[in-house]
A and B are shown apart, each in its own frame.
Chain A
Amino acid sequence: MKPINDFISRFATSTRLDENLLVKKQNRYFLLNKNLKRHLQKDFFYAGTYLGKLKNRIFFPSFSLLTMIAEGKANKMIVDERTEWLFVCGRDIFKQGILSVTGSKRRGDYTLILNQHGECLGFGKILCNIDEEKGKRKVVVKNISDIGDFLRREK
């Protein structure tokens, strides 16, 4: 549970996950519901909502977990349609593509990236103090993980 909570806290928020419904399978974490918990057998491959995995002591979140974090009060940015497309292709974010910011604008902090429909596309790391940055064509958020990963995984 600690790797998940530590990860969530990077977005200046906390999300309450019921520890009784959390299961770990090797290095992967899943959130069940009571129904699934009743049926779950130990040799399962996948169950309920996948939350992420721990690899070399680094937690890699699932997009389901990012969506759960984005539903609450957390660092997040809404980006325009062109930036959405570039971000999903693995690109970083220019200042001109940001439509609004909630929470931190500080260099070094983590932020979720949302499209104009409020859907979470992934997350990134803020590279400079956004308010102080004058150049519109300057990269201000480094892409760490985006939903384009679903396509890249298949290759």
Chain B
Amino acid sequence: MSGKEFFVRRYEKLGWRYSKSKLKQSIRINTLNAKKADVIKRMGSRGVELERISFLENGYWVCKSDFSVGAISEYLLGLYSIQEAAAQIPAALFTGLKDKTVLDACAAPGGKTVQLADLMHNTGTIIALDVKRRRLTALSNQLERCRVKNTIVYQMDARESSRLNMKFDRILLDVPCSGNYATDRGWFRRRTLKDVENNAALQREILAEASQVAKVNGEIVYATCSLEPEENELNIDWAIKTLNLEIEGISCPGEKALTNIFGKEVDGSIENCRRIWPGQTQGFFVCKLKKRACAQ
């Protein structure tokens, strides 16, 4: 069960017609280090045309640039980060981040960690985890470049985060996933339904651990760049029925998530999650969960 035809047919059954995506490059201005107007002006003087992304506070499309926006002083000084537009959504869904204790459970390469630090104005504490050491080096470089000061990084599997003996006000679960064809040319050739199921199982373990280390009323944002319902709606349906979590409404682009998956009905509150099919952005799924006060 693999191949382009197989997956495209699945997407049709979910109500979406496959089309090639035209991703636009985007950046996010780090307001910790610069005022938005100053960065736009400086980029403009170098011939880089930016256009504000309507659904993001600090996100901009790169409309024109004669060179790589990842190789100029403004980037190297941490005034902005190159971050895909849909990937800028999850961190922005948390409320009241200032002075909070935040877990970024699958943090590398660190784009969202830097965004969290920016939203927190470098206050509070971010605990950033990733399993692979090489990816931690990339994460650390991002933190240094963007002058993040409120983060501790550990080499740790997100499924073991209770080893930290900490409870968190906010948890970002940008979980490892199968990805999607918009950002990976060989996606249809490489991926099988078995991969999707394996990733979904791993994601459930991470969700379960996060529910253990979240404070009561703590917020968990779960995100994937997968289009497969096993990693999205079906996992969240399992989480709210098993882990003492409930779905919170969110305001962000995307369609209401699916409540009928290949004929199977899931909890109606799932429609408060958001599913973004590939277009100007990559494919994405995001939802916000809240830890309930006690088991119901």
Contacts and interface: CB of A to CB of B under 8 A. Distances in A.
Interface stretch (A34-42, A101-109, A129-137): A34-42
A45 B129 CA distance: 10
Contacts of B139: 46
Nearest to B124: A35
Interface residues of B, number: 29
A113 B185 CA distance: 42
Q: How large is the interface on A (under 10, 10 to 19, 20 to 34, 35 or more residues)?
A: 20 to 34
A153 interface: yes
Contacts of A84: 73
A48 B147 CA distance: 9
A67 interface: yes
Contacts of A150: 76, 141, 144-145
A45 B153 contact: yes
A46 B152 contact: yes
B152 A40 contact: yes
* Chain A binding surface SS class: mixed
Contact of A88 (B73, B125, B166): B73
A19 interface: no
A62 B144 CA distance: 8
A119 B42 CA distance: 13
Interface in B150-189: 150-155, 164, 166
A121 B147 contact: no
Interface of B: 42, 70-71, 73, 76-77, 101, 124-125, 127, 133, 136, 138-141, 143-145, 147, 149-155, 164, 166
Which A-B residue pairs are the 8 nearest by beta carbons?
A46-B153, A147-B76, A46-B140, A45-B153, A47-B152, A50-B144, A49-B149, A150-B145
21 contacts: A33-B150, A35-B125, A36-B150, A36-B152, A39-B101, A39-B125, A39-B152, A39-B166, A41-B152, A45-B155, A46-B139, A46-B140, A48-B151, A49-B149, A50-B144, A64-B144, A84-B73, A150-B76, A150-B144, A150-B145, A154-B138
Given A46-B143, A48-B152, 15 more contacts: A35-B125, A39-B152, A45-B136, A45-B140, A47-B152, A50-B143, A63-B144, A63-B145, A117-B42, A119-B73, A121-B73, A147-B73, A147-B145, A150-B145, A151-B71
